Structure 1
Amino acid sequence: MKKLFSNLQLHFFTDNSDLPATSAVIKEVMSNLDSFDLMPTFGNEFVQQTNETRKFVCMVTSDETFKVQFLSNDIFISAENYDLESFVTRSLQILDSLSKLYSQKRASRISILSTEAFESSISFYDSVFSKLFVDDSSIPFEWDNRVVRKIQSFEQLNSVEVVTRVLVQPPMRSIRKAAVDALVFDFDVNTEFENQNERFSLQNVKTEYQCILKVLMESQKAKFERIDIQNE
């Protein structure tokens, strides 16, 4: 089993309308995140509520594999090919630093997502299909298996697990350019959308993210054990 790539995300869903992509905002964010070796850049997003395109501030590492994006409704931190626990630790340090600058920010939802793509043999892909699906009389060459559970933690959480066999295009920075027949594992643990109460603050959300990380890692472990990925 060869890992092709991984992508990690941490979301703090908050109103960022007070953070336009101006030189003043960039200067204060750069100063606040100076110790994390991040450089400023811009991105564009389409905002459905206003039917407009909005420019947003983005802080990135020199190789662009770690990003902090200030979207209209989300502080969105992401990383490529990063250790999961190290990623969450660094992300929480960034949120803690931002709390000193934007102490008033509150979020109604938080989440952590992990995506990993693996290349293996067709026989292993078929064996995974047989373990995940009841009807394996005719094994397809592309498929996806999605399970969503309610998990009780610091509050009720959604735990989403998706396993997909699909042709995957390697990341832009990869030497390998041809699409690869691969297994992709997506794990997403998030607070319930129905609860829109702004109950999370930047300075007091560490414990909740650690609980979400624990649920995500337990989901990963159980899924990988079920399909026996460690022996492939």
Structure 2
Amino acid sequence: MSLFGRSLEDGDRLEVAGAVVRLKVHNRARRVSLRLDRTRREIIATAPSLRRLPEAAAFARDRAAWIADRLAELPDAEAVAPGVVITLFGQPCRLEASDKPARLHPATGEAPACITARGEGAAFANAVIRVVRREALRVFTERTAFHCGRLGVKLPSVTIMDARARWGSCRPGLPGKPAAIRYSWRLALAPFEVADYVAAHECAHLLELNHGPRFWAHVKALVGDERPHRAWLRAEGARLHAFGR
């Protein structure tokens, strides 16, 4: 038994200083440690073994002030309401109320793009998100086709997801299973160049199932220096995940 009244398991969750603390066993870890997962907005308490999970949990309790400080650094949830201006693949897009089904109106002349949707509160927000997801699927389907054409590989199926742990995933083709790429719809809120880097990254995995030199050579051939885009995602990823939360 632990000091928390029961045996702790890998993946258990606690609450400390208003934050979710997830316990994790990592056999390669040398010591108990804490880190902030900005995407999931939770604290990871890592222990080298299952036996030391109670120590990791106690360490998290002792570091409540540190946890509170890290939470304060996270961006607030971004409102999805009429009058808010978001960015859609790097371009401003105003959210407006309407009595008609939700849709995206492209920019015309000096007028920026806008998304109109009906409903209030969560109903309005969900309608807007559905439009953003549709636009994400459209753009990523186009960019995947473009990059696959340059790489000389067959176009995989393209779908949209809302994973918190990754921006994209690639499943190369296998007998009876065609290749498939999935993208986080939240990348639609990033600059176009950043989203396009993720598309190039996943397409390069159709040729190289690793992150070795040949893989990065394919990525660079498609989008140039990828480091600024990776840095942008590290710095701003939490803000994208705060949208609509």
**TM over 0.5, yes or no?**
no
Choose between structure 1 and 2: higher helix proportion.
2
- Higher RCO, 1 or 2 (CA under 8 Å, sep at least 6)? 1
Larger radius of gyration: 2
TM-score bin, normalised by smaller chain = under 0.3
